[in-house]
Amino acid sequence: MSFPESTSIVVENVSKEFTLRYQRTFKQVTVAKMRGEATKSRFKALDDVSFTVEQGESIGLMGLNGSGKSTLLTLINGVMRPDGGRVLTRGRIAGLIATGAGFHPQLTGRENIYLNAAVCGMTEKETDAKFDEIVDFASIGKHLDSQVGNYSSGMYARLGFAVAVNVDCDIFLADEALAVGDKPFKRKCLDKMQEIRDSGRTIFYVSHAAGSVRKMCDRVLVLENGRLGFDGPVDEGIHYVKYDSDDEDNDDDELGADV
């Protein structure tokens, strides 16, 4: 279904449910059933969420852990489909919505660059042209030709983010991308995201850090228990979620992201 060319993302009455299982082993399930106890239940990660994003907007997605932020980004990325409502996007989507997503643990970093780039929609020719930039940004040195199953979480994030920021995309999603790694790398990530923003691309940035949201975003969405509680100006959104008391001089808070 078509929508205005100036519109980047449409989320309309979107709901998503998951099953919460209380026991993990067959024995635990059997005992619970014998006692008449519930073994599972359904819960709504997202409940009737609607908003529209124009091309070039930088959106800060905020809310407490478990509010549905990562689920929403996964739906926008097309990894999952909503149970109700619809999600429409325009153009190529890139970003890092989970540390190490799209990596094969038995392949080397070099091989996974091509695999992850393909997942992001890049052709082999495009990846060849960007390969040196990706390797330089990741800065993982001799580990490039080691199996990524032996990587630390920080190295996973470096390589994944390096691929994501070098995809020629229209929409960039960032969830967990800055949660690990040293301060210089986190700063490099934020600088690169600023470049992406300045290029006119749409950004969805999940963060608990008020300072970085103020610097990076021009609009804030706040999710509360799966529902959209706020949609509006950055400072008002930060105040709404009660993050405005954060110490903006604290680099760890400034550069942190949702985990």
Cβ atoms of residues 232 and 185 within 8 Å = no
User: How many other C-beta atoms are found inside a 10 Å radius of the C-beta of residue 222?
Assistant: 23
| pLDDT for the residue numbered 34 | 78
Q: Is 61 inside a domain boundary?
A: yes
Cβ atoms of residues 186 and 250 within 8 Å = no
| pLDDT for the residue numbered 236 | 95
| pLDDT for the residue numbered 2 | 66
| pLDDT for the residue numbered 254 | 45
Q: Is 178 inside a domain boundary?
A: yes
Q: Is 1 inside a domain boundary?
A: no
Written as six digits, the tokens of 160 are: 């994944």
Q: Which residues contact 258 (CB under 8 A, 6 or more apart)?
A: 65, 69, 70, 175, 176, 179, 206, 207, 208
Cβ atoms of residues 186 and 192 within 8 Å = no
| pLDDT for the residue numbered 68 | 92
Q: Is 2 inside a domain boundary?
A: no
Q: Is 127 inside a domain boundary?
A: yes
Number of domains comprising the chain: 1
Q: What is the CATH number of the domain that holds 110?
A: 3.40.50.300
Burial class (CB in 10 A: 0-12, 13-18, 19+), 78: exposed
Q: Is 133 inside a domain boundary?
A: yes
d(CA 21, CA 6): 42
| pLDDT for the residue numbered 252 | 45
| pLDDT for the residue numbered 42 | 76
| pLDDT for the residue numbered 211 | 87
Q: Which residues contact 100 (CB under 8 A, 6 or more apart)?
A: 148, 151, 153, 156, 157, 160
| pLDDT for the residue numbered 116 | 85
| CA distances for 166 relative to 116, 122, 152, 182, angstroms | 11, 10, 22, 21
Tell me, yes or no, if the pTM score tops 0.85: no
| pLDDT for the residue numbered 253 | 46
Q: Which domain holds residue 87?
A: 7-255
Q: Average pLDDT of each block of 10 consecutive residues along the chain (259 residues)?
A: 82 91 71 71 88 95 90 90 95 75 85 88 91 92 91 83 88 72 78 89 90 91 96 95 61 42
Q: Is 23 inside a domain boundary?
A: yes
